Structure 1
């Protein structure tokens, strides 16, 4: 199956600053991909390049095997996008925005559908100047989805959304992805992002340091045992003496689980010393922890180089 989006060896500089360095990644049809990294890593610049908003020094961007350039935007007819902040005309109503940008013979059906999908019917006839941040954000997302694009690019789509609206957007993205729509999403709310993405592309200082599935990324993470005993201080001393690295964290002891047998061994060590175990939990690195680990490794590698 061909990728709907392919970015290959992309390089971009602003003046003397090399902001994108040999950036390469792909997005498959119906796939939700998260573009993540620290502030200033190049996420928004990558998205703007995909939309042909500025020239680049070298590299290729293709959508459905058709090249994207600053002068050739026809292929972008199949792309919907919300980058940074929605471009909204304050003296037009939300509905007028949708009328302005809707295309195709079924314009009215598309408008009605996206109003229902984003649940904006209660205020869509009001002028946009009266909209809250969340209302503007939902209108921007509605505009990105309006014409049933094959690829949707969303930069921080959860900005300004309340918890219910965030959940509704998450459900909508997952539904559309099942129907074949591809998404490239950047968000600093990693706890929400990991609920919807199948792949992540991690960028740091303009370089892609990893593209991997969520499952593969989780497999490379660390697992921990969280223990609560009737005497955590003494339990920490006992475990340290037995060769374990146990960290006292609040009312729990935290130690890395290196294999499946380790929990039974730890329990045995503690019970032999007449320590009562009150609670046991397992913890696995989430997306945020995995990202921080990868960034730390990348920075260490750069220092060595």
Structure 2
């Protein structure tokens, strides 16, 4: 468990994190969503004590806080952040990196060879990193965090540079770690698969965390949305003057229906106008991202 208590960070007059209070629990995956440069990495760096906030404190497992070298060393046995590709050493092999990370965290409950097999790295892990593609490096960075085997795992843009097969592969491992009781926090502007494995998803907007989805409680936005083609929407948009409407990239059109009882009437009007191709449901993560940012 990791708790952020009244965390604020500013750079000059620019407020990046504004009095954030949130707790991330064991056995859950947290998605932090925002464009690059809006504070996601700053929040993770505060969690790791790489950056000290102007106000507030980080509490790990209910009692531990960053105070000095002794206390910090103890916390770093509980928490890790996925390394960046710039942290890799070109002259070392992937296996060298995994052994180094396992030794640094003194993790004994996870076998390197099992991680290599699970992440399908056997054909390249003993080659020097200088020969790796971007996707291979990204898998190695993820594997390095896996062998650290900490109870809290922070990941910044974990899916960068991965093809769809590897996105699915990494997603399965994240779900496994969640089910083992890990706290996994993923900061990303890439939304593929995020709803699949996240227990809670927050937007980081104007320095605040805004909850989008809690799997136990449902979507924060309880409205129903009807999505249709923007060209088709032009035929009927005057019929829905009482509904919130918006175009997405001039290709798709959203009609927001706040009251469930109003939905049959909206659908009837679309059908009467000859518009039969539309979808109905909650606002998707990708659509909410477009509307927010």
TM-score, normalisation: structure 2: 0.82
**What residue in structure 2 maps to residue 136 of structure 1?**
137
Counterpart pick for 1:284 among 282, 285, 289: 282
Aligned equivalent of 2:99: 99
Partner of 1:240: 239
Q: Shift of the alpha carbon at 1:35?
A: 1.4
Equivalent in the alignment of 1:6: 3
Give unmatched runs, 5+ long, in structure 2: none
The verdict on how the C-alpha distance between 1:90 and 1:262 changes in structure 2, with shifts beyond 3 A counting, is: same
The alignment partner of 1:152 has SS state of strand
Runs of 4+ in structure 1 over 6 Å off: 241-253
Give the Cα separation in 1 of the matches to 2:38 and 2:197: 22
| Matching of residues 193-272 of structure 1 within 5 Å | 193-210=194-211, 213-214=214-215, 216=217, 218-226=219-227, 236=236, 240=239, 255-266=255-266, 268=268
Q: 1:26 aligns with which of 23, 26, 34?
A: 23
CA deviation vs aligned residue, 1:201-236 (integer Å, no higher than 9, x gap): 3322333344751565625154233579xx968962
Q: Matched residues in 2 for 1:233 and 1:56: separation?
A: 47
Q: Which residue matches 2:157?
A: 156
CA distance in 1, matches of 2:260, 2:65: 49
**Other structure's SS at 2:174 match:** helix
CA 69–255 in structure 1, closer or farther in 2 if over 3 Å, else same: same
Describe the shift of the 1:101–1:84 C-alpha distance in structure 2 as closer, same or farther (beyond 3 A): closer
Instruction: Count the aligned residue pairs.
Output: 286
1:194 is paired with a residue whose SS is helix
Pick which of 35-44 and 212-221 moved more.
212-221
Task: Kindly report the root-mean-square deviation, in angstroms, between the aligned alpha carbons of the 2 structures.
Answer: 3.4
Deviation at 1:95, TM superposition (A): 0.6
